[in-house]
A and B are shown apart, each in its own frame.
Chain A
Amino acid sequence: MSESMHITLKVWRQKNAQEEGRLEAHACDVSPDMSFLEVLDVLNDKLVSEGKEAIAFEHDCREGICGSCSLVLNGQAHGPHKNTTTCQLHMRSFKSGDDITVEPFRAAAFPVLKDLVVDRSAFDRIQQAGGYVSVNTGSAPAANAVLVPKDDADSAMDAAQCIGCGACVAACPNASAMLFVSAKIAHLGLLPQGQPERKKRALAMVSAMDREGFGNCSNHFECGAACPKGISVANIARLNRDWLGAVLTEREERKDEGD
């Protein structure tokens, strides 16, 4: 129904983590109603029918919630639109004749595995260090026993919407994971259920983040601009407060123990 558009994709190809990568150009005829990933599907189908290796890229739900897709388009993580993952980006956002450079999320802590696929397991290790409430199955109190003010629940939900895609890291000049970490700190820290471990959590997650080789925050706020879920950079301030408070009181506690 819609007119065809002609675009040129310049796609990052890299055999594996060891070898160097390069950009490879492909001319594509596309419909404006196609999603960006469908353009890659069609291109891959063509490559395979020509006996060439398909472009590896991470994707799954294709509705903006799983956090798999991880492309930098013309230098922007997830492309030109605010609050939009690459899988939800449609070609009507581009013009016929456009060149689009397609690269993976780049960061020292996200090594490239192949083409556009990177290893984001560092995020999992940060979660494993403290991104939870310690509650075993079966030991929960009745759900309505603890009241949560609606505003707190809503703010917690705002932060909890993080899909763990890593666009914040890819967009940050320091490849910092502060927005990702702060989203979890804020989500749990805003709820009564998260209070007992609040300090411990901040210390554990921040030190895990440092161990993984993510950079520091220097207030560029590119992360917030790139985040497809609109996670607020105000969460970073909360993280800093929680962490600083924890560092101070942790020293107190250590001193107490030493006495």
Chain B
Amino acid sequence: MATQEAATTTLSAQHVHPKLQSKSPSGPMAERWTKHKFDLKLINPANRRKFKVLVVGTGLAGSAASATLAEMGYKVTTLCIHDSPRRAHSIAAQGGINAAKNYPNDGDSIFRLFYDTVKGGDFRARESNVHRLAECSTQIIDQCVAQGVPFAREYGGLLANRSFGGAQVSRTFYARGQTGQQLLLGAYSALSRQVGLGRINLRPRREMLDLVVVDGVARGVIARNLATGEIEKYAADVVLMCTGGYGNVFYLSTNAKNCNVTATWRAHKRGAYFANPCFTQIHPTCIPVSGHYQSKLTLMSESLRNDGRVWVPSKMSDTRSPEQIPETERDYYLERKYPSFGNLVPRDIASRSAKEQTDAGKGVGSTKMAVFLDFRDAITRDGEDAIRARYGNLFQMYARITGENPYKTPMRIYPAVHYTMGGLWVDYNLESTIPGLFVLGEANFSDHGANRLGASALMQGLADGYFVIPATIAAHLAGRALPAVTEDHPEFRAVAQQVTDRTQRLLGIKGKRSADSIHRQLGNIVWNQIGMARTASGLQSAMRDIAALREEFWNNVNVPGSGADLNQQLENAGRVADFLEFAELLARDAYEREESCGGHFREEHQTPDGEAQRDDVKFQHAAAWEYNGEGKPETRNIEPLTFEVVKPAQRNYK
């Protein structure tokens, strides 16, 4: 009796973790978001101007949220790490944005987008959130078109769609290969309009370096003015972090160089739980590494897989040029292994399959760490002009970087870190475990589970910013009596002092190595041990190596210059220091999650034919890590996941 009770209460005890209440609405899935919005209190327009909203970050989520909340009448201050909001990394997204418009009449629906996303995430996302995302998708397209986003059109003047990244319907809207750019510029224009109208106080070149929590509630941040070095205090009634993902923990990734974990990590150390850090996405179609000086990797849109065929030579260590390898000696391994999805299998599967081939000695190019992506057949079928019209800018980019002509010789591609599904834990309202701290876009963990489908990141960033937060912010502002807190509050002074002390400490080490060289070394550890395939022993050694490297950093980093002006070395050193702490949690999370799901592949847990093997009994939950203080192990809390509509099954793309 007692044992049985213990077994059943484990689950119910997990249910009642006081800080991990999902606040998911109940009732029919399709009505939950509407019902929830109705149940939330409204804030009357005259009262909105009394609330100060602080938005950190100006990517899709941050710009969209800033603009929308300012339009509604809130007093918005927005911090931007770049010289201009238009430079946020959302700008680099290429392929497109999904929306369940069903314009092509090919059987799409909100339900199908919801279903595909839950399944694509390998049953590690919260169903209610995903359904809301699918619902918001259609409004996003309306909004962006009204802003003047120049989406691709058909000759009749209607919007064009294409199929993308593992979807069997054409639901992806796009603006050539620069969809992220155009969507960000749309959000940026809405933000700029509010700045011009005096409703947003925009502070560019500001980096959030800590969160200020007063009486258990997030009340602002400490930021560094990157141009002058000044440490500044920003108090508010609610803080929105829209600070992106942590892919640069791998050093080499497709992320922009300024992408970092600092904002989310500092918030984590102030009490925000960090969920599922081991869910990282490795994108299959990137340009391979060429040398030790490599500073970043370049992604090429996976729309290329619509027409390109992925192959390797059937023989090991085949040194012939691709043109010389006859058809019978080519292994189109994705088409062979996954006949129904072929080259369009989801990203995690395409990436892992490429690794299998290079591990088996079938890699191509001088480094042997690449596979071919071949357009020969598409060019024969549709003509070079048609291929140029579809992918011209990508082919040009490839040629520029590699010095090769992809119209004549197959591209060489290899997977690279691209996106991080993990992030700060948030409830259905996007509120973290610190009341008053909301987390939007890639910075949160919520919608993509263990693997994100192509063209879904733009959708989520904009859904969070344009449509979710404007409703759910009331959950905090209307629900609590907030005492007035200003920048003079002792907690602001104390945290600002800690930030200043840390800056001085970094400047004072005066060792021999640049922060960048240590970051590169960290990246090697993380890529080799916590990359596409992970093992218990590899993760253990990663944890040891990371801890040792962190020691090395704090004893031997050299940060030249002072804290009193523009100092990029100092900025970078602070970020690397945080990556060195975060990386250990990433390894630990991967170690504890003894299953394979989505982007997290544990070699110990695979099916006989090498596919990811989930363990739904033990791991159908989000792991939300709780910081316990310097040098103490973190606590792994869990939010159990239930699937009421989409029944968990092994993903099958064969």
Contacts and interface: CB of A to CB of B under 8 A. Distances in A.
A163 B155 CA distance: 27
A49 B513 contact: yes
Interface string B275-315: 00000000000000011011110110000000000000000
A137 B470 contact: yes
A253 interface: no
B523 to A, nearest CB: 14
A108 B146 CA distance: 36
Contact of A117 (B85, B139, B182, B566): B566
A233 B132 CA distance: 44
A74 to B, nearest CB: 19
B188 A127 contact: yes
Nearest to B367: A1
Interface string B71-82: 100000000001
Contacts of A83: 396
Most buried by A among B82, B145, B513, B569: B145
A121 interface: yes
A143 to B, nearest CB: 4
Interface stretch (B33-41, B162-170, B189-197): B189-197
Nearest to A16: B565
Contacts of A134: 193
Contacts of B560: 47-48, 51-54
Contact of B568 (A56, A137, A153): A56
Contacts of A248: none
B68 A144 contact: no
Contacts of B158: 144, 147
Contacts of B293: 31, 34, 38, 41-42
B256 A62 contact: yes
A128 interface: yes
A199 to B, nearest CB: 16
A219 to B, nearest CB: 27
Given A150-B157, A153-B151, A160-B185, A132 B192 contact: yes
Contact of A132 (B83, B189, B514): B189
A61 B466 contact: no
B513 A65 contact: no
A60 B156 contact: no
Interface stretch (A169-177, A187-195, A210-218, A237-245): A187-195
A48 B569 contact: yes
A242 B470 CA distance: 36
Interface size band for A? 35 or more
A209 B296 CA distance: 35
A143 B295 contact: no
Contacts of B196: 128-130
A123 B157 CA distance: 32
Given A31-B291, A92-B403, A124-B192, A161 B142 contact: no
Given A128-B192, A132-B193, A157-B150, A56 B295 contact: no
B97 to A, nearest CB: 12
Interface stretch (B15-23, B173-181, B356-364, B435-443): B173-181
B152 interface: yes
Interface in B540-579: 558, 560-561, 565-569
B87 interface: yes
A132 B178 contact: no
Contacts of B86: 67, 124, 164
Interface string A144-166: 10111110011011001101100
Contacts, number: 227
A61 B92 CA distance: 7
A68 to B, nearest CB: 6
B295 A35 contact: yes
A63 B192 contact: no
A67 B257 CA distance: 13
Contact of A146 (B145, B513, B558): B145
Given A119-B83, A141-B146, A65 B178 contact: yes
B146 A121 contact: no
Contacts of B156: 147
A156 B298 CA distance: 26
B593 interface: no
A54 B366 CA distance: 33
Most buried by A among B64, B141, B295: B295
A157 B181 contact: no
A256 B373 CA distance: 64
Contacts of B188: 127
Contacts of B175: 157, 160
Interface string B389-416: 0000000110011010000000000000
B384 interface: no
Nearest to B173: A143
Interface in B187-232: 188-190, 192-193, 195-196, 202, 204, 227
Contacts of A60: 82, 87, 89, 256-258
Contacts of A222: none
Nearest to B227: A113
A133 B150 CA distance: 13
B630 interface: no
B126 interface: no
B178 A161 contact: yes
A49 B511 CA distance: 8
Contact of A120 (B83, B144, B190, B516): B83
B148 interface: yes
A168 interface: no
A193 B558 contact: no
A114 interface: yes
A131 B192 contact: yes
A80 to B, nearest CB: 13
B87 A132 contact: no
Nearest to A31: B291
A63 B397 contact: yes
A137 B71 CA distance: 8
B643 interface: no
A228 B178 CA distance: 15
A3 to B, nearest CB: 12
Contact of B204 (A64, A124, A163): A124
Nearest to A193: B148
Contacts of B142: 140-143
A33 B258 CA distance: 23
Given A45-B516, A128-B192, A143-B141, A137 B565 contact: no
A232 interface: no
8 contacts: A33-B403, A34-B291, A56-B566, A65-B92, A133-B147, A153-B153, A161-B178, A193-B148
Given A68-B83, A133-B146, A143-B101, 10 more contacts: A16-B565, A62-B256, A120-B84, A123-B84, A133-B148, A135-B147, A137-B143, A140-B145, A150-B154, A157-B175
Give me the 6 closest cross-chain CB pairs, A-B, nearest first. Answer: A147-B157, A140-B146, A128-B196, A132-B189, A48-B514, A157-B150
